[in-house]
Amino acid sequence: MKTTPLLQHYKDKVVPALTKKLGYANPHQVPRLEKIVVTSCMGKAPDRKVAVDDAVNEIQKITGQRPSLTYSKKAVANFKLREGEVLGARVTLRGTRMWEFLHRFINITAPNIRDFRGISSKSFDGRGNYACGIQDQSIFPEIEIDQIKRQIGFDLIFVTSAPTDADYEVRFYDADGNEVHMLIGYDEFRELCSLTYDIRWVQEPRPVNEEEELPL
């Protein structure tokens, strides 16, 4: 597997840090990112079949991988949906494509979200997996704005080997040994990206109330 900058950072910095922090005897016990699932459901679209085709094309542009189709498990009269009818598209990223996608998400996609104020730490599922919603595809650099036919939302699911959320509370270290966090508040997210990838931020965020939800 090709080693991407983010994967190399994980191996060089994150694994030793978590091995020490969590008291693991073997580095292979350290939680790792196993896959990223990108999915879109077009069940409410009146032209469902065409909408699914549009979702397939957009997901392929974003991930570089051809998605598979998802189908309804039961009929829903209110949506005029029949059992077994095509409903959406999904792609599962592993290996090099997974790490490259995560690299782009951290550096480009997430900061492009309108009024971006960070990624909520409340979206873990209790077993070390994280999910977030993207309202439309325009924030992805692979999408040409003038080619968008309709607004398509996505769910991103980050699946890890961690048994609990606590094990996945990863802390990164920059070149100077300074500890920075990931997947919590905007400041930490911004600091991680800036220190690791020399990102230049064009707009400062407003302060966030910790009690406030942080929608994507």
3-state secondary structure of 211: coil
Q: Does 61 score more than 90 pLDDT?
A: yes
Look at 12 and 191; give whichever has higher pLDDT. Answer: 12
CATH class as words, domain 5-22+31-197: alpha beta
Residues 159 and 127: their CA atoms lie apart, in Å, by 9
Q: Give the pLDDT band of residue 177 (cuts 50, 70, 90).
A: low
Q: Give the pLDDT score at 172.
A: 44
Q: Does 166 score more than 90 pLDDT?
A: no
Beta partners for residue 89, in sequence order: 40, 69
Length of the chain: 216
Average pLDDT for 124-151: 88
Residues 67 and 58: their CA atoms lie apart, in Å, by 10
Query: pTM for this structure?
Result: 0.71
> What are the structure tokens assigned to 73, written together?
């498990």
Sequence spans of domains, the chain? 5-22+31-197
pLDDT tens across 85-116, in order? 888 999 999 999 999 999 998 888 888 887 77
Residues 26 and 3: their CA atoms lie apart, in Å, by 21
